[in-house]
Amino acid sequence: MSSALSSTSRLRLAFHPRSAARGGPATVSTIELADPSLDLAGVRASLSSVPRVSATRRRAEGLDRQLADAAKAASPYVLFCQHKYEVVHHQLDSTRKELADCLNALQERMDNSRELEACRLRYHDLQLRYNEAVSEFQDRVSTLEAQLAATSSFGVIVPPDAARRKADLESQLAQSQSDLQVA
C-alpha cells in the first residue's frame, strides 16, 4: 500500500459556526474510520453467513406457523379440558363440603354416644340403688309383719300409727315392685 493510503482515514464532519462567532477558534469534528479494504474478510464472512441466517429465519417462521397451527388445532381440546376441570373442581368443592358436614355429624354422634354411655352408667347405678332400697323395704315389711303377728298372738293392740306405717310401707313396696316390672 502506498503512504497515501493509511490504515485509518479521517472524515471531516460539520463545521460549528457558533464557536467562531463567539470569537473562539472554529472546530471541526472528525471520526477515525477503518480502511474499508482491510475489512474485506469480515464482509466475506458476513456474506457467507447470510444464507445460514436466512435459512434459520425461514425455519423459525416455519416453527412459528406450526406452533400457531398446533394452538389452533388444540383449542377445542383445551376448551374441553377447561370445561372438564371446572366440572371436576365444582364436584371437589361439593364433596369437600359434604365431607365437612359428615365429619361434623360424626363428631356430634360421638358426643351423643359419650353422653348416652354416661346415662347408661348412671341408670345402672340408680337401678342398683333402687334394688337395694326395695330389698330394705321388703326386709322392714317382713320384720314389721312378724312383729305384728307376734303382738297379735299375745293380744296386744296395735297402735293406729303402726298400722298406718305398715300400710304406707306396703304401698311403697307395691309401687316399687310395679316400677321394677316396668323397668
Asked if residue 13 lies in contact with residue 30, where contact means CB atoms within 8 angstroms, the answer is yes
pLDDT of res. 152? 72
CA distance linking residue 81 with residue 88, whole number of Å: 10
Domain count, the chain: 1
For 124-128, the CB contacts below 8 A with 24+ separation are 127/183
Structure confidence at residue 162 (pLDDT): 76
Contact predicate 151/158, CB 8 Å: yes
Q: Is 57 part of any domain?
A: no
Task: Output the pLDDT for position 83.
Answer: 95
Strand residues in 5-150 grouped as ranges (E): 8-16, 27-34
- Check: CB of residue 162 under 8 Å from CB of residue 168: no
Between strands 8-16 and 27-34, the pairing is: antiparallel
Q: For position 3, what pLDDT does the model report? A: 42
Structure confidence at residue 2 (pLDDT): 42
Domain encompassing residue 164: 123-182
C-alpha cell at 16: 460549528
Question: Which residues of the chain register pLDDT less than 70?
Answer: 1-38, 155-158, 182-183
Does any domain span residue 87?
no
3-class secondary structure, 21: helix
**How many whole angstroms separate alpha carbon 82 and alpha carbon 89?**
10
139 found inside a domain? yes
Does residue 153 belong to any structural domain of this protein? yes
Of 175, 170, 183, the residue nearest 141 (C-alpha): 170
Instruction: Note the pLDDT of residue 1.
Output: 41
Please report whether residue 13 resides in a domain: no
Does residue 1 belong to any structural domain of this protein? no
Q: Are 141 and 170 in contact (CB under 8 A)?
A: yes
Quick: pLDDT tens for 129-157: 999 988 998 888 888 888 878 777 776 66
**Would 159 be classed as within a structural domain?**
yes
Distance CA 116, CA 128 (A): 18
